Amino acid sequence: MHEPMFTSCLRGAGTVIGLARMALEAAAYRRGKEAPLAYPDTAYELPVVFGLTDIRVSTLADAGKVLDLAETLVRSFASAENALDAGAATLLAADVIGAISHENGNPFMPPAMGFIPDSILRKLGIYLVDGSVPGVAVVIGKATDPAVAAAMVRQFQEIGLLVFIAGDVVAQLDAQGVKLGEDFKTFPLGPLPAVIHAVNFAVRAGLTFGGIGRGQGAAMLSYLANRVKAFVCALGPLDDVALAIAAGAMKAGLTVLSDQPVPEIPGKLLSRPAGGAMVQAGMEARGIKVKMVKVPIPIAFGPAFEGERIRKADTHIEFGGGRSVAYELVRSAPPEEVHDREIVVDGPDLRGLPKGSVLPLGIVVRVAGARMQHDFESVLERRIHRIVNYGEGTMHVAQRDTTWIRVSTEAVEKGFSLADLGLMLYAKLHADFENIVDKVSVSITTRLEDVEAGLAGARAAYAERDARARTLTDDAVSEFYSCTLCQSFAPNHVCIVSPERLGLCGAINWLDGKAGFEITPTGPNQPVQKGGVRDAVKGSFDGVNEFVRENSRNTVTEMNLYSIMESPMTSCGCFECVLAIIPEANGVMAVNREFTGQETPCGMGFSTLAGSVGGGVQTPGFMGVGKHYLLSKKFLGAEGGLPRVVWMPREMKEYLGPLLRERAAEIGMPDLVDQIADETVAVTPDALVEHLVKVGHPALKLPPLL
């Protein structure tokens, strides 16, 4: 099916090389073989030749060598590979033709601009590197309907793409009144073969901005394929030459879209009707994303409002929080099923509702992305909390099907609607998860029957997610994640985050670490290979030791993940609670950051303890941890686990509440939680031991800690 097309490419390449030969001979006849050959205003000779080959071109005779090389690239058998190489040959030959034609500057009639000089390349290239120009569109051929082509180019301009135009479509667009020229980042090049000036522009971008030198062909092709996000819109019937040029574009990693029924090559050659579908397919194929600079909603939006509480009296409307059915869910889906920026609100919206209304609410966010994983759904979903709180006049509490959202009267008066809420989620998820999210759609419903129907599905999704979380154990995974965010103030501290031990700040679990790495591959969350298991009970792993040694700059040479007594993990300063041994009680106490009392059985309050624990040093017997680590099966594995805990503030016990009881029951000690003392029972070691003996706390029977 592709074969006739490949044959056309080979024929087209032959034609272009033939034309180049004729042009070269004519020029050589007129000016002599040693006459100089160069484009005006460039430091890169014939840029395509400069970038892809090591032939130096300064004279017409040198160009002959380029054509000799091009000829060797055109082989007779019609295969995909040969077609692509013929495409490369076409580009080389077209660059020769282009340079010859520029003997006296731009050979074309305005508005066609011919070769784009380096000065413009430098100016615009900055914005390509910067990302404010998100990509490049090349429009070639002759439009069947000039109005459609004009609408397409205007859409490119609106998005901010760099646009190159070659072929009859230049005149068509000019007649349609499309604004052309440098000011509009839209460059009409000339007749079809002048499309080479789009190619030599891209090649010069690689030479100027990609740090690529002369003749580094492979590096150049890789730069064009991965860094220059460009696609070609080929309008109208494709002849041999157009196909050969298209093959050259594909060789350089560009996606070619044709409005003709061409046989598709996924990711490379697509058949789409001219217009919106072609634009969308091109942008998707090249991963071009449009950034929303300011979220267009009627209320202020930013971290400054995160802490804002909306009191009952100021509330205009609320959802969930026990007052109505409500849930929120993030689901990943294949890209073709998610329509980016589609925000659907179904059911009554905020406007017109009386103050004090309560409505059911279902929020479903669907995301797609090449690097999106099901595991990241919960990471994104938890972000909903923060995003909603970012609004001035919107408050969010809890998560999943316990979610509770309030909207203030002031926000409703400003015209805030549920669609704006959707837009907040859309914009911020895109911004915060740029590397893993390509498309986001939000659907919000306030109709009871729809919410209830959706809730059933959401609960199934939560259950599935929880089941997955239970299978995520330290033993089951092969890599943990590091967090070195706190090294700015605790220079040698390295957090190792495993599925069963979250970061000591309580803010980063294993999935967050995993997502964090995907979002910022050079950032503080790096994968840590477990490597050989030295001691499964203490949590000693070769890979972890190696990572910690290197990243603590040799100050911590060994670190046991599940021990407080022997080479424990260091602490930065952000820990949610501190564990400290009470030798008299043969156990450990836990004290949380919120506990303001100064009296604990170890003689120090939280802040005093924190001062002696933090700073990235190992202090056997003392360790900062996240509260939820107490519930882990790996909690102090080396010292006997949860039964070691002899004391914790009442507040913390209440906070962990049912989960702590559940865990105690799981290890066959349902009474343990009540046996653990708090500040109302004992604040001295003696009183503590007395209490432990009285209630028969299991720590007393464990092997001695010291």
Kindly list the residues in this chain that would bind other proteins in the complex (CB under 8 A). Answer: 121-123, 125-132, 208-212, 484-485, 487-488, 491, 520, 522-524, 553
Minimum CB distance to other proteins smaller for 260 or for 554: 554
Minimum CB distance to other proteins smaller for 126 or for 460: 126
Q: Least separation, in Å, of the C-beta of 302 and other proteins?
A: 15
Q: Which two tokens stand for residue 97?
A: 């033709």
What's 52-89 look like in SS3? HCCCCCCEHHHHHHHHHHHHHHCCCCCCHHHHHHHHHH
How far is 539 from 330, CA to CA, in rounded Å? 34
Tokens 């000693």: give the residue.
540
Minimum CB distance to other proteins smaller for 7 or for 435: 435
Angstrom distances, CA of residue 238 to CA of 8, 88, 283, 447, 632: 10, 18, 22, 52, 64
Minimum CB distance to other proteins smaller for 20 or for 574: 574
Q: Least separation, in Å, of the C-beta of 119 and other proteins?
A: 8
Q: Least separation, in Å, of the C-beta of 545 and other proteins?
A: 18
Cα 276 from chain centroid? 25
Which helix H or strand E contains 317, and what residues bound it?
A: strand 315-320
Minimum CB distance to other proteins smaller for 157 or for 552: 552
- Let me know: does 171 contact 294? Beta carbons within 8 Å: no
Q: Least separation, in Å, of the C-beta of 600 and other proteins?
A: 32
Q: Least separation, in Å, of the C-beta of 125 and other proteins?
A: 5
Minimum CB distance to other proteins smaller for 488 or for 680: 488
Minimum CB distance to other proteins smaller for 129 or for 398: 129
Minimum CB distance to other proteins smaller for 417 or for 525: 525
Decide: helix, strand or coil at residue 570.
Answer: coil
Q: Least separation, in Å, of the C-beta of 438 and other proteins?
A: 19
Long-range contacts of the stretch 532-535 (C-beta < 8 A, 24+)? 535/560
Q: Which two tokens stand for residue 488?
A: 């700015």
Q: Least separation, in Å, of the C-beta of 200 and other proteins?
A: 17
Alpha carbon dihedral 213, 217, 219, 224, in 10-degree steps, equals 100
Q: How many CB atoms lie within 10 A of CB 490?
A: 20
How far is 504 from 508, CA to CA, in rounded Å? 8
DSSP secondary structure of 493-506: --EEEBTTB--TTS
* 111 prior amide bond cis, ω within 30: yes
CA end-to-end span of the chain? 78
Minimum CB distance to other proteins smaller for 134 or for 236: 134
How far is 398 from 406, CA to CA, in rounded Å? 12
Q: Which two tokens stand for residue 516?
A: 């964090």
Minimum CB distance to other proteins smaller for 551 or for 600: 551
Q: Least separation, in Å, of the C-beta of 484 and other proteins?
A: 6
Minimum CB distance to other proteins smaller for 179 or for 553: 553
Minimum CB distance to other proteins smaller for 211 or for 597: 211
* Burial category of 698 from C-beta neighbours within 10 Å (exposed 0-12, middle 13-18, buried 19 and up): buried
Q: Least separation, in Å, of the C-beta of 527 and other proteins?
A: 16
Q: Least separation, in Å, of the C-beta of 431 and other proteins?
A: 13
Minimum CB distance to other proteins smaller for 521 or for 597: 521
DSSP secondary structure of 158-171: HHT-EEEEESTHHH
How far is 585 from 675, CA to CA, in rounded Å? 13
Q: Least separation, in Å, of the C-beta of 109 and other proteins?
A: 30
Q: Least separation, in Å, of the C-beta of 127 and other proteins?
A: 7
Angstrom distances, CA of residue 158 to CA of 293, 314, 363: 14, 40, 30
Minimum CB distance to other proteins smaller for 44 or for 595: 44
Q: Least separation, in Å, of the C-beta of 91 and other proteins?
A: 22
Q: Least separation, in Å, of the C-beta of 285 and other proteins?
A: 23
Q: Least separation, in Å, of the C-beta of 205 and other proteins?
A: 10
Angstrom distances, CA of residue 111 to CA of 39, 188, 197, 236, 664: 19, 7, 15, 21, 79
Minimum CB distance to other proteins smaller for 79 or for 520: 520
- Let me know: does 297 contact 417? Beta carbons within 8 Å: no
∠ CA 330-335-340 to the nearest 5 degrees? 70
- Let me know: does 360 contact 451? Beta carbons within 8 Å: yes
Minimum CB distance to other proteins smaller for 332 or for 551: 551
Decide: helix, strand or coil at residue 284.
Answer: helix
Q: Least separation, in Å, of the C-beta of 315 and other proteins?
A: 36
Minimum CB distance to other proteins smaller for 52 or for 152: 52
How far is 116 from 201, CA to CA, in rounded Å? 7
Residue 438 CB-half CA count within 13 A = 20
Q: Least separation, in Å, of the C-beta of 221 and other proteins?
A: 15
Angstrom distances, CA of residue 324 to CA of 319, 329, 350, 384: 6, 17, 16, 19
Decide: helix, strand or coil at residue 107.
Answer: coil
The 10 Å CB-count burial string (b at 16+, else e) for 534-573 is eeeebbbbebbbebbbebbeebbeebbbbbbbbbbbbbbb
Q: Which two tokens stand for residue 654?
A: 């209440």
Q: Provide the β-strand partners of residue 619.
A: 622
